[in-house]
Amino acid sequence: MPTDSLQRAQRWRKRHLEPGRVKGARFDPNAVLDAQTHAPAREQSPAAAPSPIENLVRLAAKMQALAQAANAELIEVGGRGELVDLEPLRCALREWPTEVVALAPPMPLRVWLALNEFCLPRRSPLWQYPNRDEPMGIARLAQVAGIASNGTSFFVSACDDPERYDWRNWGGED
């Protein structure tokens, strides 16, 4: 280490000694970073990744558009869910983060019924509800169905593949 000048000695220490072994360079959680020297400048690129909130808003708009299209098709075919391709909507539902299921956008009851038809008993109050065009979130679905739940089960089953539960598909190829 040079001893003729303080600047040369500091430069040498900085280059040659391990930062983790120097007492002054230890991590201090209470220290405030000097923005000019320590933090690299972040340049905002025009193609920066969208924030999680922006992603949720975009996905919610996509889900609502798909739900409206599915509702129109269901009205056209008399509510028969097997005649409408609900897979694009199921895929969009699967993209929705599980942490915020309660914030999923409301969809018309007719669409929820078509998505949950394979697991929803016919005696459920949802089938007798008069306004099938009413947009409902999962909490409102649970309320109308009369179950003591936040309605997450409706969302989860709407994401699922109904073919999995069709007993006619069980068993081997005979």
Q: What is the DSSP string of 98-146?
A: GGGGGGPPPEEHHHHHHHHTTTS-TTSHHHH-S-TTSEE-HHHHHHHHT
Q: Quick one: average pLDDT of 117-135? A: 89
Q: What is the pLDDT of residues 81-99, one digit of tens each?
A: 777 888 899 999 999 988 8
119: pLDDT strictly greater than 90: no
b/e sequence 138-161, b meaning 16+ C-beta within 10 Å: bbbbbebbeeeeebebbbebbbbe
Q: What is the pLDDT of residues 135-153, one digit of tens each?
A: 999 999 999 988 888 888 8
pLDDT band at 131 (very low <50, low <70, confident <90, very high): very high
Higher pLDDT residue, 110 or 26?
Answer: 110
Q: Please state, for a pLDDT cut of 90, what percent of the chain lies above it.
A: 18
Check: CB of residue 120 under 8 Å from CB of residue 135: no
**What pLDDT is recorded for position 28?**
60
